[in-house]
Amino acid sequence: MALALRNLGRNRLRSVMTVLGVAVGMALFVSLIGMSNSFRYQLDELSRSAMIDVFVQSRESATPITSRIDQVQLAALRGLPGVDETIELLFFPVRTSWNPYLVVIGVSSLDAMSGQLRLLGGALPPPGSEEILVGHAVQQQGYQVGQRLMLRESHHYRISGVFASEFQLLNGSVVMTLAAAQALSRRPDAVSMVFLRLVEGSDQVETARLINESFPSLEAVPAGMLNSQLLLTRLGQVSALVISLLAVLAGGIFVSNTLVMSLTERISEIGVLMAIGWSRLDIMRSLLSEAVLICLLGAAVGGLLGFGFLYLVSVINPEGMGWWVMSGLKARVFLQALGLALLLAVLCTVQPGWLILRLDPIEALRNE
């Protein structure tokens, strides 16, 4: 490792630029995968804490906002064998001066969601009223219990309570009764999602299969399989992974080129080392040490940059994105970044390693 440090110190500017190239890729990996994991974790925990057995939404809808379930389908879902209770939800965004994508959630039973909404002040909206609950992140914009919040032009709603939730997805939203949400969104005969609670002993997978076969336009997902089957989470995870891996591979090209250039500059020195007994394996081991050092330094710097970005997003909250980011899961993502850095180091030594295998020690000694 001491030899690797000395070799990297010969051209410090090039080494620093290479480390920064890896760091940018790792920062993208940490931030994008961190946000994707945060969203998946919150969905998973929300389904567990709310004791939901089956989720239903429109087939091929990437988000609940684009999903639509009509009253005929809703009535049929309520009558399915094994269904004990249905909770209907309506999601839609509204534009405000401080968030152009404020999410409004209409719920058929606020009591059913009370376990996820810890009241900090006020009370639940009375049944049939047009009063609203706001998350504490909305309260931080200056809205208090008793004040009115404009959600559409000429539509002002009295805040009956402020809530906090362990799920960031809820903290930045507005919650109201389903009827009030349907009137505000001008969708009086539709909902976005239906949560099913089944009779004890009913099979989640079998119920979901029955819904998928009976309703071609709907998609039912058992709660335990939500993250693996929901289109939104699949698209988010794949997109984050592909973008971040492309960025990391771009950084790997920097590392590979740096190693080749370093190898070319030290060709006569390598010839001397081979003349005094160093094997090609010893040379490759030294080269691998340089690659590992560069990639681990890049992963460390990139991890700090990525976590710093997530923290800034949660604090500054651009376009409401901060309310989707959790502060947890960092250790897991950082360990993934370190593992990716080690793999990248091995891959980056393939090209220079091939050059070493083809190197003639006599020709190396003649090189000046």
Q: Which of 337, 332, 255 lies closest to 303 in space, CA to CA?
A: 337
pLDDT of 64 reads 74
- State the residue for tokens 């009509």: 70
Alpha helices by DSSP H, listed for the chain, are 2-8, 12-49, 71-78, 136-139, 168-171, 178-185, 204-214, 226-229, 231-265, 267-275, 280-316, 330-348, 350-357, 361-366
DSSP characters for 256-304? Answer: HHHHHHHHHHTHHHHHHHHHTT--HHHHHHHHHHHHHHHHHHHHHHHHH
Alpha-carbon 193 to chain mean position: 21
pLDDT the model gives residue 147:
93
Give the pLDDT confidence score for residue 175 in this predicted structure: 92
Q: What's the confidence (pLDDT) of residue 140?
A: 83
Contact between residue 224 and residue 60 where contact means Cβ atoms under 8 Å apart: no
The predicted structure's pLDDT at residue 79? 92
φ, ψ (nearest 5 deg) of residue 174: -115, 130
Structure tokens, 238: 């794949």
C-beta separation of 218 from 207 below 8 A = no
User: What whole-number distance in Å separates Cα of residue 129 and Cα of residue 119?
Assistant: 18
The pLDDT score that the predictor gives to residue 318 is: 54
**Per-residue confidence (pLDDT) for residue 70, from 0 to 100:** 92
pLDDT for residue 215: 93
* Beta-bridge mates of residue 49: none
Is the CA virtual torsion 208, 209, 215, 218 positive or negative?
positive
Q: Which residue in the block uniquely carries the two structure tokens 């076969």?
A: 213
Q: Is 126 helix (H, G, I), strand (E, B) or coil?
A: coil
Residues of the chain with pLDDT under 50: 319, 322-323
Q: pTM higher than 0.75, yes or no?
A: no
